[in-house]
Amino acid sequence: MRIVELTQQTKNNILNDLLKRSPNNYDSYADTVNEIVNTVRKEGDKALFDYTLRFDKTEITKDTLQVTQEEINEAFSLVSDELVEIMKRAAANIEEYHMKQKRYSWFDSKPDGTILGQKVTPLSKVGVYVPGGKAAYPSSVLMNVIPAKCAGVEEIVMVTPPGKDGKVNPGTLVAAAIGGVKTIYKAGGAQAIAALAFGTESVPKVDKIVGPGNIFVALAKKAVFGFVSIDSIAGPSEILVLADETANPRYVAADLLSQAEHDELASAILVTTSMELAKKVSDEADAFVKQLSRKDILEKSLENYGYILVAQNMEEAIDTANDIASEHLEIVTKNPFDTMTRIKNAGAIFLGEYSSEPLGDYFAGPNHVLPTNGTAKFFSPLGVDDFIKKSSIISYSREALEPVSGDIIKFAESERLTAHANSIKVRFENIKKKEV
């Protein structure tokens, strides 16, 4: 891995490079995606089946679109019992963590008859997109489905592309069953997003779409936003390790590569105050790459977006971590909890040398659907809040409204909204007449 002395200029260059990976920079595909979305919106099932044949090379009909219980049973027979039990344990951890995020309605009443509050309501119907083929990750199924279940979503509809044999990845089906999903459709790509957003003869319209996907899926989610809600427009995976001289270079190198192997656009960055650690991590990473199975992807990822940045001091290193706002941030310092208090921007923070990033990907419980491309400055991980909506509650008695009525009328009249003012005035016009 390349070692770079951290300066303001090198930091700016790296930030610019990282931003180039954003899905917002792939507008050349937008026309194609918009055509797919609009065609599915107009033609429904017919377009969905036509695009599935065109892109996934398999024929799907109204009768074969939905995954059957027999197919789910078959999936369980194809996944080892050991892996099924591991998924169940991971699901239990994810559920336990997300149940702590639950929000409840509240009401605050006063003696004068004022009642203010907030009513929390789960979304009625949510669509979950699950990639297929080589990018099929059962862990993502659990991470998207379980928070929705914890929130109280009534119906979860899953879409995932079929293989050329017309079947769905068995791990995906097993994870869906463990997560409690009962409705799964064999559809992928931008056409599946459009089907969820607008509904077809067979696929119901949902209120929100979540889940990762390729650039076509990301742009389709962007295109349908406003007709439905979405979680985010996810970019390539990324990790930043913040370390001092106490860090184990072998562990750090292994953790950097755990994200670099996702794809050629993945980012892996070490920010350290120790040149000695930087050199050792670089050597360890180079050695690991030679023996790992995704060698070609790792080499290109590190060549494009892999950096070891050597800072003058920890303050400079922390400032850099906050500027990059990485999806995953590992802190491997002498006192990681103290360092963590100075971190403002990160999707998920892993503290100490035994809290490696894959722990969060699979098992610990917090969600692994995280903000990317610097959006951790203003976005949060996927969670229960993404599957609820809040309604304000306002109730005033006559006795509560009368003392403030004059203030409301004057405020409305200052904005020249006389109908607003009149709405208050009419409630007390009899009193005014009596006074006269």
**Neighbour-count burial for 314-339, b at 16+ CB within 10 Å, e otherwise:** bebbbbbbbbbbbbbbbbbbeebeeb
3-state secondary structure the chain: CCEEECCHHHHHHHHHHHHCCCHHHCHHHHHHHHHHHHHHHHHCHHHHHHHHHHHHCCCCCCCCCECCHHHHHHHHHHCCHHHHHHHHHHHHHHHHHHHCCCCCCEEEECCCCCEEEEEEEECCEEEEECCCHHHCCHHHHHHHHHHHHHHCCCEEEEEECCCCCCCCCHHHHHHHHHHCCCEEEECCHHHHHHHHHHCCCCCCCCCEEECCCCHHHHHHHHHHECCEEECCCCCCCEEEEEECCCCCHHHHHHHHHHHHCCCCCCEEEEEECCHHHHHHHHHHHHHHHHHCCCHHHHHHHHHHHEEEEECCCHHHHHHHHHHHCCCEEEEECCCHHHHHCCCCCCCEEEECCCCCHHHHHHCCCCCCCCCCCCHHHCCCCCCHHHHEEEEEEEECCHHHHHHHHHHHHHHHHHCCCHHHHHHHHHHHHHHHHHHC
**Strand order, beta sheet including 388-395:** 106-109, 115-122, 388-395
Beta pairing partners, 158: 128, 184
**Would residue 220 be called left, alpha or beta, if left means φ above 0 and alpha means ψ between -120 and 50 degrees?**
alpha
Q: Which of 284, 316, 327, 330 is catalytic?
A: 327
CA 421-422-424 angle, to 5 degrees, is 75
Residue whose structure tokens are 């923070």: 349
Residue 1's CB: how many other CB atoms inside 10 A? 24
Residue 289's CB: how many other CB atoms inside 10 A? 21
Instruction: Look up 328 and say whether it is catalytic.
Output: yes
Q: Which of 328, 330, 357, 368 is catalytic?
A: 328
Residues marked as catalytic: 327-328
